[in-house]
Structure 1
């Protein structure tokens, strides 16, 4: 009979104790972290037959903290805000990258920032090329006399 199961090496139990202590500390700090105002930019995307639209809540950012770029069909929206005071330094940021659908008129993309901090980016859809009937005209081929 072996006594090994009863006398395990202490390194594993020390590691287990350390992991339990870390988990306990994490559980203690999670409610504190959740109490902070963590910046989120909630988004809503609309894609129907008339338009493609994106609405973002960016109320925690000033207009000068926002940047919108369109490179081909890639639309990128960024916000970055830094606050420094005598008590410390904080930084909030977000980034969204959206590939616009093929039927969006990228030349008509427009944005609007409301007073309550809602950023709207809209683009109309391109007019679909309607099919049409092409008439067939028949031309007669003149026969040449054979020699």
Structure 2
């Protein structure tokens, strides 16, 4: 029986040290890195409409961009602030694939005075089912001559 298992030297894991350091950095910088759209967004997807609501009160209307490419909706905000003492920049980006039953031609957005961005699109009307008649193939008989 070996006493090595009981008295082996402490081994430090480089990976363990890295994970501990990353967790420490995350706790220190998390309050600085938070931007309101990630914390206060709401998505509604029901039978009548698809809607997304974001709190973008930290951004001016000219700092926001909304693009629609096919069914891909992109929402971006970027703000730069330069002062005599420094420079700061904050930004956010959301990319959302709209459901297939959304009328992409009717997507509309609205920015309220208190900084709530609302993007809505109605759903397409469901295609009504119909009965399809079955046609029979006509078989011609060859006449004997």
What TM-score results when the alignment is normalised by the length of structure 1? 0.69
- Segments of structure 2 that go 5 or more residues without pairing to the other structure are 1-6
Shift of 1:88: 1.1
The aligned counterpart of 2:91 is 93
The yes-or-no answer on 1:76 pairing with 2:74 is yes
SS at match of 1:92: strand
Q: Who wins on radius of gyration, i.e. which is larger? A: 1
What TM-score results when the alignment is normalised by the length of structure 2? 0.70
C-alpha distance in structure 2 between counterparts of 1:86 and 1:56, whole Å: 32
C-alpha distance in structure 2 between counterparts of 1:87 and 1:130, whole Å: 64
Shift of 1:34: 5.9
C-alpha distance in structure 2 between counterparts of 1:48 and 1:118, whole Å: 20
Task: Please give the residue correspondences for 1:122-133 in structure 2 after superposition, counting only pairs within 5 Å.
Answer: 122-133=120-131
Change (3 A) 1:61 1:127: same
C-alpha distance in structure 2 between counterparts of 1:35 and 1:45, whole Å: 24
After TM superposition, what 4+ stretches of structure 1 lie above 6 angstroms from structure 2?
Answer: 135-138
The aligned counterpart of 2:4 is none
- Segments of structure 1 that go 5 or more residues without pairing to the other structure are 1-5
